[in-house]
Amino acid sequence: MGQNIIEKIMSAHLREGEYVPGKEVGIRIDQTLTQDATGTMAYLQFEAMGLKEIKTDLSVSYVDHNTVQVGFENADDHKYLATVAAKYGVVYSRPGNGICHQVHLERFGKPGTTLLGSDSHTPTGGGIGQIAIGAGGLDVAVAMGGGLFYTAAPKVYLVKLTGELQPWVTAKDVVLKMLELLSTKGNVGVMLEYGGPGVKKLSVPQRATIANMGAEMGVTASVFPSDNVTRKFMKAQGREADWSELKADRGAKYDRVIELDLSAVEPMAACPHSPGIVKKISELEGKAVDQVCIGSCTNSSYKDMMTAAEVLKGRKVHASVSLGVAPGSRQVLQMLARKGALANLLDSGARILESACGFCIGNHFSPKSGGVSLRTSNRNFEARSGTADAQVYLVSPEVAAAAAVTGKFTDPRKAGIPYPNVKEPAACLVDDSMFIKPTPELKSTEVFRGPNLGEPPKNDKMPEQLNGAVMIVVGDKITTDHIMPAGARLKYRSNVPKYAQYVFENVDGTFAKRALESKAAGAHNVIVAGESYGQGSSREHAAMCPMYLGVKAVAAKSFERIHAANLLNFGIAPLTFKNPADYASIQAGDKLTCADWRAAAAEGRPVMLKNGRTGASIECVCALSARQRAILAAGGLLNHTTGK
């Protein structure tokens, strides 16, 4: 039987388990990437495990999140990252070199390989034919040391593309259409493979945009074929030797086929406060706009930026709009400058922002109170922009640029602006001087450790009995931003006791204090949640910090993949209600107990929780592999790996 692309790559990297959808497998990882918001802890964990060298083909440490220097914390952590990379053999991408996903696509992505990154948008690499997966930093640290990455063998859905995108319609509109079709939940354990004749009409940056926002659907990865389009992209980057063809065999099987006619797609927007709330721009036309942000790892390629610059050329940003533009990489910024496009942007009144994650993670350029902000990024969760009541919409660069000029939602097809038919460059400006690559001499580097840098926290072994205290009950689609705020708080990422003070800050500001008091009293803290708990970022601090506060279990209707894995990695049991209706019977303050909690989890039996207030027994499922059960019993992956 013929294999699809995903089966080919997974099979070639399979080292443990059998490829049966839903069953756990261990795969070899060829490449890893980290970014400074999650990477700092990943390298601390790498050191804590006693690992001495990198055993992947390539590992890269990017600095792209916390580039705003307010206080010493970020600068100190950047110095730590630079020195630890030098010592252990990691490529270090200096601040200002660009956003990890775009830079990795440009300079290192390789068809047919596996990439594991400590960022949920690592699947961007699928645009070049990689199986690229986001994970917690601890999983990435293990992979850097040569360990396997464990995941469920996926179901594979084929997205069969036909037709061709019309002028002013973009890859961003395609992926928003996919979000309309698949939504942001219910896709755990799925990988998407894009195929069909329409694929040939999409450039690698367009494919990468679509693969990037597969993270918002909750799929593990999204993969495109490696074809002549891929070859041209890699040739433009001076890396044609890294290209290889990758396509599905004739007769390849899929668990589901989704058909999408590119010619029928029209400009779209994701509305507040979820990437899954999708409307056509034509339904929003005329709505006033306060702010426009063009950039992020989703939409800041050369073509994206050149298109926006052409729209703005000879025009002025509307008086009511503040426009910020952040090219995704230094390469793109340099090319814009040499083409004169940077001057066009500046002449229009745009503010040029650093080639970094910045506005996307709420680190700067927040909207005004209640402001309407159009952004080309991938997430619009409530308060993620840094302004609690902002109304953030996700759109294409074309829609964003048109709104910047008109001051309102405008269908760019009706804006009276000539279509800027920007072509992909045949040759890109290649300047790798902002990478510090490993050398034998650098192995003697002394690792710098600033005062904000702490040791990775460890959990206790799983207790025999659960003496649970429900600290909070939350609803559906709780994101890692709800659990662990980003933005300015990220500078405490390497200081867990400090960062833990902000757990659920935007949901219940008393949570951290109450949880610590409950932990001190000997209780095992419990979080109760609805569907799709842990959407969004791979930020393992959303598990690590609750663990520090004494959380031992999360009982939910369902979990998202990365967060469920992170909970296990830090010794927190992800419990799923067998009867979802039981969720409504639990209140904050309830006592949930289980006399044989550890034994039930270890043996794969149902975990029966008794509610002290109601007397009811609540059956929960803790569906884990034997490996995962051992990790949970040990109190987390760090304990399990070190044997402590």
Both tokens assigned to 452: 């904000």
**Partners of 351 in the β-ladder:** 324
Q: Which residues contact 520 (CB under 8 A, 6 or more apart)?
A: none
Kindly list the distances between the CA atom of residue 605 and the CA atoms of 269, 597, 619, in Å, as whole numbers in the listed order.
45, 10, 10
Return the axis-axis angle of helices 100-107 and 330-339, rounded to nearest 10°: 80
Both tokens assigned to 196: 């069909």
Question: Listing from the earlier edge strand, what are the strands of the sheet with 155-162?
Answer: 221-223, 190-195, 155-162, 256-261
Both tokens assigned to 455: 């040791």
DSSP secondary structure code for residue 105 in this structure: H
b/e per residue, 373-397, with b = 16+ CB within 10 A?
bbbbbbbbbbbbbbbeebbbbbbbb
Short-list 156, 186, 422, 409, CA closest to 304: 422
Short-list 424, 427, 425, 428, CA closest to 201: 424
| Sequential DSSP letters for 167-227 | TT--HHHHHHHHHHHH-SSS-TTEEEEEESGGGGGS-HHHHHHHHHTHHHHT-SEEE--B-
Reduce the DSSP state of residue 257 to 3 states and report it. strand
| Sequential DSSP letters for 273-296 | T-TT-EEEGGGTTT-B-SEEEEET
* N- to C-terminal Cα separation, the chain: 46
As annotated, the active-site residues are 64-65, 119, 379, 537, 539
